[in-house]
Every structure is written in structure tokens, then in C-alpha cells.
Structure 1
Amino acid sequence: MIDDRKDAGELGINTRLTHGGYNPRDYHGFVNPPVVHASTVLFPDAATMDKRAQKYTYGTRGTPTTDALAEAIDELEGSAGTILVPSGLAAVTVPFLGFAKAGDHVLVVDSVYHPTRNFCDTILKRLGVETEYYDPLIGAGISKLMRPNTSIVHTEAPGSNTFEMQDIRAIADAAHAGGAVVMMDNTWATPVYFKPLDFGADISMHAATKYPSGHSDVLFGTVSANARHWDQLREANITLGVCASPDDSYQILRGLRTMGLRLERHQESALALAQWLEGHEDVAKVLHPALPSFEGYDIWKRDFKGASGLFSIVLKESDPEKYKPRAFAFLDALKFFGLGYSWGGYESLAVMPILSDRKIAKAPEGGPVIRLQIGLEDVVDLKRDIEGGLAAARAAG
């Protein structure tokens, strides 16, 4: 851990990423923590077992490997505790199940990650929880939607696929005034570029499948809570029996060590391509929060320390009947951009997102939306690849 060497708050982000969560002196000087595979943990005697009077009692409740990662995340988030779960979606569903009950009303941003919406519209609905979707640009106006039984306000900034920015501080203040727990999916920015708990959120969620992993080979999620909500989050995690494997935990901790450097490259390349595409004749609009022309730029500039490698473009096309043919032509012409879901890995990806589930934050006008994950390839090669895709889309019209 960092704390016994220097106050973590005084250290740079890459130093914290490099050294957080594990002290080599705790295990014979080995730089990386041991991977502890465990279900059963033995007790020295019956009295200790009866009182569970030792740090580790069973595999689902933590091991030295999972603790190392959780402590590293806490140092980044400024949180009281972090649970580790086997997917990004589980990082959303576990806290929802832990803080909502039958008869509750929850507010969820309309630009939310689609699997979160599906969970709310199916499982939560069957459990007697009502979900209401709100405009991502609502800010403090969310107070008008609060009810006596509103238990959760769920945020995500920027929004999935269309990148609407939310004023998290204003929303959190209004939600807390109404007695609700504020949750934020912070997967896009990671705690390197935004720390939700510093802006009033109670719970910070991440699909660590993305940037913490960085190599498109691990499914993982983390959920961090402030001191007021940590015990309830931990209780939900233990009761549901949702836990992450030691091998995956080790790989995420290893990914953290280089995440800061990778994010710098993702940010630099994505912004260069976004700026280039903004002036391209075949592009109607670029949806990137770090562009001054973007509607949410002022909030991004005020609250965020950086931008990651994910943004969208709107291909220029006035006829909705031609949206899919033009988008498919663009996607099929790509050579370096793979066609696949997820993002945050070293490779570039492209997808035409489905936005028909939106109730308020409708799809942008002007043409089909293409989401681009900018990987670690050279920008000149990615630009050439996108140019080929745009030419194919143009020809398809």
C-alpha cells in the first residue's frame, strides 16, 4: 500500500496506479501479489471459528489477491470500500439490488447503458420497483422528479453512445435533499479523469472490463462506496454471493499499473481523430465531450481531468431508409477497426449502436450514429482506415 510511504493525496496519478493496493514487503519482496485460490479457509481452533475472529473466513468474503485490488481502487476513488464483481453489468445490478426495495421509485438517466435499462425494465420491475427515465441535461431540475419513495438516482456521464454530460454535483445535491442514494457509472472516465465521490455521488461503478483491463480479455466490475453507504453495499455483495475470481482480480490489478499511460494515448489519439472528423464533409456531427462545439463541453471542462478514447460520429445522410446501408458500408470497409462490443482495450473498435430504446435523449439527427473506440494504433493508420470507411459509405448512397 501507498500510505506507509507517503500521503497518497500528494502523489501523482501514475505513481498511485503503479504502487497502490500492494506492498511487496508484505510477501517476501515480490513485486506482484500472490494469486490466492480459495474457497475454504481453515481456523486454528473452535473458538476462533465460532467468532470468525480472523481476517479471512471464506473465499467469497475476500482473499489477499482481491484485497490488493480493492485497496488500490479505494486509493483511486477516495472510497471507504470497494466490492469486486464478475462483470460491468454486475457492478450496476448489485448496488441496485442492495439499495432498492419493493415499492420504491428510482430515477435513471435516459442515456444509460442499455443492459442497465434492460435490468430496470425486467428484474427491478418484477421486484416491484418503478423506474423513471430522465433527461441527462436536467441538472438540479431533477428535484422536480423526486418522490417520497425515490431511493436511487442513477447517473452516467458521459452518456452511453451519445455522450451527454451530466452535472453530477447539482444532481447529487438535489437527490440527497430528497433522501436518495446517488450512483454513477464512471466507466468512460475512470477515477483517473473523474472521481464521482468528490462530486457528491455515494456509489461509483466501473466496468473494469474496459480500461483497467486494457486487453479485451477479462470481464470485471468494481463498485466503490463512501463511508455512509459502504456497509450496506458490502452486505448486499455478501448476501448475493457475487464475487470475482482471484485470477481476474490479479489481471485487473496488473492492468491498473499501465492504465494512466494508456489513457493518455487513448485520449490524445481520439481527440486528434475527433477534431479531424469534425471538419469532414461526410460527417454531420462528432459527439465528443472534449470538443468545444459539443453541448456538454463546459461541464466536461469544469469537472473532468481528461477524456478517454470513446466517442461517436453521425454520418451525413438525410434519408432514414439509407441509415443502415450507409452505416454497414462504413463498418464493412474498416480494416483496423474491429466490429465488436465493449471498448477500452488496446485495439480500435466500431459499432452502430441501437438508440431506439431512448425515451427522452433521442438519437441525434443527421444520419446514422457510429461509435468509435480508439485504440493504441498509430493515428495516421486509423485516419486512413476511417477515410476508407467514409468513402464506402458515400458510395453506398
Structure 2
Amino acid sequence: MKNATRLVHAGRRPADHHGMVNTPVYHASTVLFDSLAAFDASNADPFAGVHYGRLGTPTQFAFEQAVADLENAHGAVSTCSGLAAIATALLSVVEAGSHVLVADNVYGPTRKFCDGLLARMGVTTEYFDPLIDAETLAGRYRETTSALFLEAPGSLTFEISDVPGLAATARERGVTVIADNTWATPVYFDAFAHGIDLSVHAATKYIVGHSDAMLGVISCRDEAHFKAVRHTSIALGYCAGPDDVYLGARGLRTLGQRLPVHEANGLALANWLAEQPAVTRVIHPARADHPQHELWKRDFSGASGLFAIELVPAKRERLAALIDGLAYYGLGASWGGYESLVLPVDPGSSRSATHWDAQGPLLRIHAGLEAIDDLIDDMAAGLARYQS
């Protein structure tokens, strides 16, 4: 089955819901049983059937099955946010005294979680250069290493790690490989084919696709990882809201149609920006001038709409003039919705293993679904204000 077909049909069972095309939204806490025997049987297997609202409803299970089918996973577990998915994935494999290896370019809240809650648990986090080679990384493992956490590309600076090479160093030592796959989604990056054990998504972004729900999901390579993640999620009390899960399932149906537009708009915008005098650097993995472009071509089948540019140095008020006058780009966190966004970021403030070298401000740009000519004209006017 091709991805386009799978996105439309995965997780749908109309016959189980009176013929409804979409699995209905189940708002539920208490689940009633016909008999004590049925209640006892339900408690015997928490991975089968519906037991209690927090443990999952048909709405949640349909979404999870769809994601698992798309990613060729044994199973998937949904959570209430992308960060909750990251936390659940890590907590499913660590214990007091564990050591985890984390790429230095990860999503900021991932670092805060590692340096905060995991540290208080007695878990040591060691950050490494995302461009490290496999042989050098192999020397960083300890007897207590339980996880390798990757993000390719990094969500601010867009380095592409040698994911298969780095993953191999972990798998040969029995260390779980976790990857944040939000940028590419399962459509453009086959996580398990590249050595990943747990593929984490901030489904809030491209999977939901409309900036109207908070949602995370973890796809698990095998039954052992699935059970560990599911038990951890239950123990933490994480459960995605039924309406948000429904919006995630709905967003999946058009993901294969939206992503190519994001990709085309992002690349066209990046190519145009590369020619502008106010721009000193464009950081887009799909451009031939990206330092890891060949790795991107080897491992990815496409690009999303998220990339970054570095501007020539200027005072903060010039940056404000650029941003505040934009008509079609919103200023805000997140990305992956239908709308274009721009966000000034400072990667240097959240690095410890590497140094971010930039003279001017860095803007992270998300290319939405608007007409590309409008996006370019709007940005051209903004750059003119920046240089005035």
C-alpha cells in the first residue's frame, strides 16, 4: 500500500462504528461492564479493549493504529503533547543511575526535561555534537547508558546527523535509540529503516496540521518497547484529550497532500532568500549548499517547510521593523500548521557540547500553504524595512 492510500485508510473501521467514516469522538471516563467476569477479564489485559477513559478510547486507539500503520511500527502511544511524548519515551528506558546521550541540537524543552526532571531522578545526560562520527560516539557509551536521543534535522539549526551510523553504535550495545521525527514525519523519513527504536512526534505540528490541538505520539519498533512506553504513559497519567486525538486522526488524512506544498513553498522561499543582500546564510537541508545535504538526500525522501536564515547584523529595532510589518507570517512558537510563521531564535543559549557561531540574528521560518508569490513579496518588504 502506498503512503497516500495508507494515510486515508489507516486506523479506520467504519463497521465498528455504525458505518461512520471517521471514528467518533468518545468523551468518556467510566466504562461499564456487563458482569464481574467481564470486569475481571478486562483487568487481566490492559493492552486489550476499553477499560477506563484515561487508559484509552476507540478514538485514541484508531489514531494510534493509523500512526503505527503509517510508520510500520509494532504499536503507537498517544500523549497530551509533543513534550509528553519525549518524556514518556525517555522515562520508559531510564532508571536512577542511568546515562543518556543526547544530541546538542535538540528541541529546547527536551534539554530542559533532561537537565531538570531526569537529573533529579539521578539520570546523567551527556550532550554531543550532532555531527559526531559513529566511531567517536562509540567511545561515549558507558555500562549505564540506556538511551541515545537524536533529532535530525535539529529544529533550530537543521544539522543532519548520520542517523543510521549513530544508531548502529547504540543498537549493538542494546541501547534504545529515540528520534524526534517531527520535522520530516513518517512520510519523509522511515525511522525504523534507519535504526530507530522509538520515533517521537509532536503531532501538534504537521500531523494535526491546523494549529488547533496539542498532541504527541510515540511509535515503537517492537512489542517490548511498546509495552514499556504504554506502561510508562499509564503510570504518568498521560492521556490525550479525545477532541485533540480526533483532530490528529483527521489531520493524518491530508498529511500527504499538505507536506509537498510546505516543501515546495519552503524551498522556493529559501532559494529566493539566498539571493537577498540582507541574508548571510540560508540553512535548509534540501539546498545543495547545506553542509549535510548528501546525508539528507540519502536518508530523507522530502523536506518540510521549516528552515532558518541568518541576517546581516542590525539593531533589534530593525528586526522588529521586519517582523512587525509582516502581513502573512505570524510571530509565534510551534509550526506545521497551514499558516506561515517567523520566529527569532538564539541557538547559542541552549548549547553545551557545540558553539553556535553567528554574527547576525537567526530567524526560523515555517512556510505555510499560502501562495508563494505572496510570501516572497511580504518578506521582500520586510527585508527592505530591515535595511532601511
Q: Same fold (TM over 0.5)?
A: yes
Instruction: Tell me, in whole angstroms, the C-alpha distance in 2 between the residues paired with 1:253 and 1:61.
Output: 18
Alignment of 1:166-185 (within 5 A): 166-185=161-180
- SS at structure 2 position matched to 1:145: coil
Name the % identity: 48
In the other structure, the counterpart of 2:157 is 162
Residues 279-321 of structure 1: CA distance to partner in whole angstroms, max 9, x if unpaired? 221110100000010011111100101000000000022xxxx
- Indicate whether 1:85 and 2:85 are aligned: no
Distance 1:68 1:309, change over 3 A: same
Query: Any conservation in 2 of the 1:327–1:370 contact (CA below 8 Å)?
Result: no
* Alpha-carbon shift at residue 25 of structure 1 (Å): 2.6
Q: Which consecutive unaligned segments of at least 5 residues does structure 2 have?
A: none
- Secondary structure, counterpart of 2:345 in structure 1: coil
Structure 1 distance, partners of 2:321, 2:101, is: 38
Runs of 5+ in structure 1 lacking a partner?
1-10
Deviation at 1:330, TM superposition (A): 2.1
CA distance in structure 2 between the partners assigned to 1:281 and 1:361 by the alignment: 28
Q: Which residue of 1 aligns with 2:119?
A: 125
Counterpart contact for 1:323–1:367, Cα < 8 Å: no
Contact 1:314-1:364 at 8 Å conserved across structures: no
Distance apart, 1:139 and its partner CA: 3.4
Greater shift, 384-393 or 27-36, is seen at 27-36
Indicate if the aligned counterparts of 2:102 and 2:125 stay in contact, CA closer than 8 A. Answer: yes
Q: Does structure 1 retain, via aligned residues, the 8 Å contact 2:331–2:343?
A: yes
Distance 1:267 1:51 in 2: 49
User: How much does 1:364 deviate?
Assistant: 4.0
1:209 is matched with 204
- Corresponding residue of 1:51: 41
Instruction: Report the equivalent of 1:246.
Output: 242
Say which SS state the counterpart of residue 312 (structure 1) adopts.
strand
**Per-residue deviation, 1:255:** 0.7
Deviates more, 1:279-288 or 1:25-34: 25-34
Question: One-letter code of the match for 1:353?
Answer: V
Please point out which of 314, 326, 350 is paired with 2:310: 314
Counterpart CA distance in 1 for 2:101 and 2:267 is 32
Distance verdict in 2 for CA 1:122–1:323, change over 3 Å = farther
Deviations along 1:220-267, one digit per CA (max 9) or x if unpaired, are: 000111114111111111111111111111111011111111101000
Greater displacement, 274-283 / 293-302:
274-283
Task: Give, in angstroms, the shift of residue 216 of structure 1.
Answer: 0.7
**1:160-309 superposed matches below 5 A:** 160-227=155-222, 228-309=224-305
For 1:105 and 1:359, the matched residues in 2 are separated by 17
| Aligned equivalents of 1:162, 1:324: Cα separation in 2 | 21
Provide, for residues 5-60 of structure 1, a one-character-per-residue CA deviation record: whole Å limited to 9, x for no partner.
xxxxxx22111111111122332222111111211111121122123267211112
Task: Check the 8 A contact 1:153/1:180 in 2, yes or no.
Answer: yes
> Is 1:337 matched with 2:332?
no
Greater mean alpha carbon deviation, residues 246-255 or residues 328-337: 328-337
Partner of 1:347: 339
C-alpha separation between the residues in 2 aligned to 1:160 and 1:331? 20
**Is the alpha carbon distance of 1:100 and 1:135 closer, same or farther for their aligned partners in structure 2, counting shifts above 3 Å?**
same
Question: What are the Cα deviations for residues 95-133 of structure 1, in whole angstroms up to 9, with x where unaligned?
Answer: 112211111111111001001101111111111111111
Deviation at 1:137, TM superposition (A): 0.6
1:109 is matched with which residue: 103, 106, 110? 103
1:194 & 1:165 partners in 2: Cα distance? 12
Q: Look up the SS of the partner of 1:154 in the other structure.
A: strand
Correspondence 1:368 to 2:364 = no
Going from structure 1 to structure 2, the CA distance change for 1:311 and 1:91 (only over 3 Å counts) comes to: same
Matched to 1:332, the amino acid is D
Deviations along 1:208-229, whole A, 9 cap, x unmatched? 1001111111010001111141
Q: Is the 8 A contact 1:139 1:168 kept in 2?
A: no
Q: What secondary structure sits across from 1:213 in the alignment?
A: coil
Distance in 2, Cα, partners of 1:102 & 1:122: 14
Aligned length: 381
One-letter code aligned to 2:61: D
CA distance in 1, matches of 2:343, 2:368: 14
Match of 2:150, SS? strand
User: Offset at 1:323?
Assistant: 5.5
- 2:89 paired with 1:95: yes
Whether contact under 8 Å (2:345, 2:361) holds in the other structure is no
TM-score (norm 1): 0.93
- Aligned CA-pair RMSD: 1.3
Match of 1:66 among 60, 68, 71: 60
Letter in 2 for 1:381: D
Summarize deviations over 1:142-180 as a string: whole Å, max 9, x none. Answer: 111111111111000100211000111111110122321
Which 10-residue stretch deviates more, 302-311 or 177-186?
A: 177-186
Structure 2 distance, partners of 1:132, 1:324, is: 34
